[in-house]
Amino acid sequence: MIDEKTKKSAQRRLKIIQGQVSGLQKMIDDEKYCVDILTQVAALQASLRGVGEVVVRRHLESCVTAGIKGDNPEKHYDELMRIIYKLT
């Protein structure tokens, strides 16, 4: 589960991302230089990875840690591998 600290951090990052998306839309509307647009796309991707990082850390600290200590650690290792694969 996402705790309050993680929720606030993710929401703050997502608000920044909303601003980045708006800026990117304006750049495209204004027909800015392609390389500048691509630079902003890369910045957006990095920002989204940052949200993922915050959520993954919380998941590791809570769900995965508890699951590995439980009866079926293999299930949690498999889930963790799927998460890593998705994010790479």
Query: Against a cut of 0.85, is the pTM above it?
Result: no
The tens digit of pLDDT for each residue in 5-16 reads: 999 999 999 999
Residues 24-53 have a mean pLDDT of 97
Residues 37-61 have a mean pLDDT of 95
| CATH architecture of the domain formed by 4-87 | Up-down Bundle (1.20)
Domain boundaries, the chain: 4-87
Could you tell me the two tokens for 27? 């750049």
Cβ(40)–Cβ(23) under 8 Å?
yes
> How many separate helices (H) and strands (E) can be counted in the chain?
4, 0
The pLDDT score that the predictor gives to residue 24 is 98
Residues 58-83 have a mean pLDDT of 90
Distances (CA, A) of 83 to 2, 10, 61, 87: 16, 18, 14, 6
pLDDT reading at 47 higher than 90: yes
Cβ(54)–Cβ(31) under 8 Å?
no
